[in-house]
Amino acid sequence: MDLSAGFVFTCPFKTNSGNKALSHLPVELAGFNAARPLVVASAGTEGQKAVRILKSAFGDSGMTLALFDNVTQAADLGLVDHLKNLCLEKKVDAVIALGGGKAADVAKVLNLAVSLKTPDARQLLPETPIRVRLLPLVVAPAAGADGLETSRFAHLGRKVFSSESLAPVLAVLDPCLAKGKSSIGMAAAGLAALGRAVESHIQADQNPFRKAYSFAAIRFVRENLPAAVADPGNRKASLALLNAAAMSGCAFSNAAAGRLHKLGQVFYDLLGIPQGVIMAMCLPHILGDYLKEGQYDLAALFQPLAGDDAFARTPAGKRAEAACDLLNRFLKELQDALGKDLPKSLAEAGVPGYRKEEILDVLGADEEGRYLCGIVERVANGRPERKG
């Protein structure tokens, strides 16, 4: 790895993973001198279950827990402004994003609004300078977390906020929250983590710190996703996936946004299709193109995917192709296991033509728009990927 160009790396969050990690949260908050956290959770039964677990964890901690458990996909800056007023009224001194996904996005931007004392949070802009230290933000993702929870990014409406300051100080990965309800939910979450970790792992400007996170994330997904899909209640596999998601968020925050991420994000924002579903659809095409054009360090994927023995046995010149083959087989096995639940094309996903046009319009504005639109066309009807 050539380090001569220099690099910057940061992972602002601590990881607490495993048994009773949530129970330890009051101690962690006390370590930040915080005693009045606001919990931001998703609407619905998933969110309510997570809240029950968290409330019990706080038990007799003596802390005052404020709660908002009605975050939906439609959450916007108006909600943030409402919650900001709640925070000021309750003198909240920490924010806990419970369950991940949109709840984490809201919690990050809310933390920004409260810490900056923004009079009207609806006026917040991604380019708003952050010159103060924000309140401690904790994320406690649940099954279905896509990895962005631990990242420096928050997506709200069509705005993307990005800053190191937005990242959490702590990720609590508790097996009580890790178990999922559906196989496709586990698959989508694991594939989103995989997609972002893969893109971070192959980029040209590498550093060993980022690679440590992307390596571990890829390995965890490869080793545990099939078991989690077969049994979403599998305690060990689901916790490993939460770990993978958290690690991928760190790797992603320290890399340039890749094509898989961009595609996954736009379909999620506009159509609500889980990012991992789109990434799985597009991954063989994009990696196939990289392989054909000799772009990016695809060979680096082989060791975390295949393990040390296979890596050592495979000649260096064959590892890129072997990694792509292995990933394609891995996806195929998941698709076989999940059937129609993991669609292989936009048509199978039920995306109507006019919505596809909407997607193409948004992607067209990206600097790589032409290529990304081409990928959308290739996955529209499930044509097989080009051979490298």
Partner 1 sequence: MRHCRAGGQRKTGKEGVIPMLLPDYYEFCCRVKIVAGHDALGKIPDLLIERGAKKPLIVTDKGVAGAGLIDIVSRAIGDRVAAGLIADDVPPDSDLRVVNRLARLYRDNACDSLLAVGGGSVMDTAKGVNIVVSENADDLMAFSGAGALNRHLKPLIAVPTTAGTGSEVTQVAVVKDHEKHLKMAFTSYFLLPDIAVLDSRMTLTMPPFITAMTGMDAMSHAVEAYYCLQKNPLSDAHARAAVGMIYRQLPLAAKNPEDRDSRLAMAVAACLAGIAFSNSMVGLVHNLGHATGSVCGVPHGLCMAILLPYGLEYNMHKRADIMAELLLPMAGEEVYLATPAERRAEKVVSLIRGLNEELHAVTGGRHARCLQEIRDREGKPSVPRDILPEIARAALLDGASIYNPEDTDYEDNLLVLEAAWEGKPLDRTRVKKG
The contact set with partner 1 (CB under 8 A) reads 3-21, 24, 30-33, 131, 133, 164, 169, 207-209, 211-213, 215-216, 219-220, 223, 236, 239-240, 243, 247, 306-313
Q: How far is the CB of 373 from partner 1 (least distance, A)?
A: 36
DSSP-derived secondary structure letter, 341: G
Strand arrangement, sheet containing 137-141: 66-71, 37-42, 94-99, 137-141, 170-173
Measured from the CB atom, the residue of 329 and 383 that comes closer to partner 1 is: 329
DSSP β-bridge partners for residue 121: none
Residue 374 makes CB contacts below 8 A (sequence gap 6+) with: none
Q: How far is the CB of 205 from partner 1 (least distance, A)?
A: 12
Measured from the CB atom, the residue of 257 and 310 that comes closer to partner 1 is: 310
Q: How far is the CB of 354 from partner 1 (least distance, A)?
A: 44
Q: How far is the CB of 34 from partner 1 (least distance, A)?
A: 9
Residue of 102, 111, 276 whose CA lies nearest to 190: 276
Q: Which amino acid is at 289?
A: D
Would you call 71 helix, strand, or coil by DSSP? strand
Measured from the CB atom, the residue of 41 and 251 that comes closer to partner 1 is: 251
Q: How far is the CB of 6 from partner 1 (least distance, A)?
A: 2
Measured from the CB atom, the residue of 108 and 344 that comes closer to partner 1 is: 108
CB 187 within 8 A of CB 276: yes
Measured from the CB atom, the residue of 313 and 387 that comes closer to partner 1 is: 313
CA distance 61 to 174: 18
223 burial via Cβ count (<10 Å: 0-12, 13-18, 19+):
middle
DSSP β-bridge partners for residue 140: 98
Q: How far is the CB of 69 from partner 1 (least distance, A)?
A: 27
Q: How far is the CB of 33 from partner 1 (least distance, A)?
A: 4
1: number of Cβ within 10 Å: 9
Measured from the CB atom, the residue of 42 and 303 that comes closer to partner 1 is: 303
Place of tokens 């230290």: 133
Measured from the CB atom, the residue of 164 and 361 that comes closer to partner 1 is: 164
Residue 53: both structure tokens together: 């677990």
Residue 317 makes CB contacts below 8 A (sequence gap 6+) with: none
